[in-house]
Structure 1
Amino acid sequence: MSAVPSGPRLRADARRNSEKIRSAAIGAFHGQGLTVPLEKVAEAAGVSKATIFNRFGGRIGLIEAVIEELVASELFAVIDHARAIDDVGERITYYLTALRDLQYRQPAFNDVLLQTYPHARQLMEICRAGSEANEELVAAARALDALRPEFTAADLHALVVDNALALKHGKRPSRDDYDRRTVYLLDGIRGRSSASGGG
């Protein structure tokens, strides 16, 4: 009968298992969203589902462990880049185009937007930061007539969430059709000062 690993050996094995699970979760969540069965994550990591619970406490803990790398870093990069664009019309175009691109490429982002796991603290913090960015952007754009005067941050939130629902539960459009509809969306919400802007 083989000896049971202990001390540094056990800690090293646990670290390796945790990293394998994180890597497998990022791959699975990236392609299929945060609702992917944990059995698939475990299989990809070469561990049992029980090991995921032992290391991370279950799905919420696993989401918390990877959501920064998986979603937050990209979203916050979009927000920071948008804030650095001086022309508010160009800022709107960049921000909405980049958000919709992230939604198309990253199913996990749609699960964040839909607050699929409201008990995941970091997931909800990402939603809060995104809402603040939406309000800031819309306020700046309306002040300079870059958006229709009746268009609100709540409208922007609804458009993004509706898109998340369509991508998660509807038939996925081709990328060409999706990008064409992004242009239509932008044309529909622009105000007088950016009515002739490109998309």
Structure 2
Amino acid sequence: MDMARSKSVRRDARENLAKLHAAALEVFLAKGLDAPLDEIARAAGVSIGTLYYRFGSREDLIDAVIPDVAGSRLQALATTVMAEDTPRQRLEAFVHGMIELQRDDPALNDAILRRYPDAVALLDVCERSTTMGRSLVREAHADGSLSPDFTEDDLFCMLWLAGTASRDPHAPAGWHRVIKHALDSAWATVT
């Protein structure tokens, strides 16, 4: 193969990679991480074989395109949360912000629910928000604003319920209210 043809192939490969990256980002953000891979390939104008050749698996594709987006959105939430004055306000901002992200961003919701545990880079990004949530519960316990009966696991159960319900078109309409009541009842009674 001559040098000009070699450069052309590499350029085409780079272009296909960029098209796949852009298409995967668009489709995953719109439909979630379980969006059909053939839809991503079609949107990129390449074959499904090219997608698998370039990325190997769904999880590798997810790790190539989603962690940066998820990381920036979760970092923005962390900045908002930490700007609040009290542990209670921070925990409430975290819960409401996470629920909003899960409702509005199918890909991030799938990540938070850990639907693709082999997408290691994405799980690492999400682990930071889990660590933050645990820390916020401990802070609210320490200042006495959060009932000792409310645990870190309770927090993640609430977020799991919100994430699952937000993806299910047949979820009962009252799921928002159940989460609101659970959070309202989590606060310590001031005497």
Question: Is TM > 0.5 for Structure 1 vs Structure 2?
Answer: yes
* Conserved 8 A contact 2:77-2:97: yes
Structure 2: state its 5+ residue gaps: none
The aligned residue for residue 116 of structure 2 is 117
Deviates more, 1:183-192 or 1:88-97: 183-192
The aligned residue for residue 196 of structure 1 is none
Cα deviation, 1:147-180, whole Å, max 9, x if unaligned, reads 2221111110111112222222343678xx7766
Cα deviation, 1:19-42, whole Å, max 9, x if unaligned, reads 111111111111111011101101
Distance 1:64 1:108 in 2: 12
Distance 1:106 1:172 in 2: 17
Structure 1: state its 5+ residue gaps: 194-199
Q: What letter is aligned with 1:190?
A: W
The aligned residue for residue 51 of structure 2 is 52
Distance 2:5 2:172 in 1: 53
Length, aligned pairs only: 189
SS, match of residue 6 in structure 1: helix
The aligned residue for residue 146 of structure 2 is 147
User: What's the offset of the Cα at 1:66?
Assistant: 0.9
Identical-residue share of aligned pairs (%): 33
Distance 2:8 2:169 in 1: 48
Matched, 1:186 2:153: no
* Conserved 8 A contact 2:112-2:126: yes
The aligned residue for residue 104 of structure 1 is 103
RMSD across aligned positions (CA): 2.4
Aligned 1:2-21 pairs, distance under 5 A: 6-21=5-20
| TM-score, with length taken from structure 1 | 0.83
Distance 1:19 1:90 in 2: 42
* Conserved 8 A contact 2:99-2:163: no
User: What's the offset of the Cα at 1:63?
Assistant: 0.3
User: What's the offset of the Cα at 1:49?
Assistant: 0.7
Deviates more, 1:112-121 or 1:133-142: 112-121
Cα deviation, 1:46-75, whole Å, max 9, x if unaligned, reads 111111112111211110111123322201
Matched, 1:73 2:72: yes
